[in-house]
Amino acid sequence: MPGYVIHLAVAKEYLKKSKNRNENEEEFINGVIFPDSVKDKAITHYGEKSSKSNLYEFLKDKNVNNSFNRGYFLHLLTDYLFYNKYVDRMTKDMYNDYDITNKKLIDKYNVELPNEIKGSVFFKEGDLQILSYDLLYKMIDEISNMDIDKIAKDVIKNPEKWTKFRELKRI
């Protein structure tokens, strides 16, 4: 799963680009961080594991008509696309890359860390092993431009499209 800072950067950009939605920003951000803030992430990601977020199962259980659920859905959408479009391998180095990218992403996207996750976000210096800044910037831009309502309707209408999971190479 992408780290908290990646999720918050997507959320920050989404909120900036969707001002006409009048989202409750605090509720939206709470929805964005919720799925990773629990011990059993498979439950909050509606899949067998967090790397297999099931958007269809989420929408069978909840809707996207309030800011918390919309943030929650954006989190799951980000996870789904991260593993099925943007990365093709998984390794423990990924978490090291998150720690390396956190500072730069916080600065670039003006991310504010909610108090409840400050102890879970780490910072390191070093060379990226799996991710690249170009990939992250592209992903954040593309996902933050998506229309959550249209995606949710498409997930309900075409669940087979949104419940396929690409197998990641384990390194």
Q: For residue range 39-93, list pLDDT tens digits in order.
A: 999 999 999 887 889 999 999 999 999 999 999 999 999 999 999 999 887 787 8
Length of the chain: 171
Full-model pTM = 0.95
The reported pLDDT for the residue numbered 56 is 98
Phi first, then psi: give them for residue 97, nearest 5 degrees: -60, -40
Q: Would you say 78 and 7 are in contact if contact means Cβ atoms under 8 Å apart? A: yes
Domain layout of the chain by residue ranges: 4-170
Q: Is the pLDDT of residue 168 over 80?
A: no
Tell me the two tokens of residue 63. 């809707």
The reported pLDDT for the residue numbered 171 is 60
Q: Tell me the per-residue pLDDT of 99-149, one tens digit each, with 9 for 90 and over.
A: 999 999 999 999 999 999 999 999 999 999 999 999 999 999 999 999 999
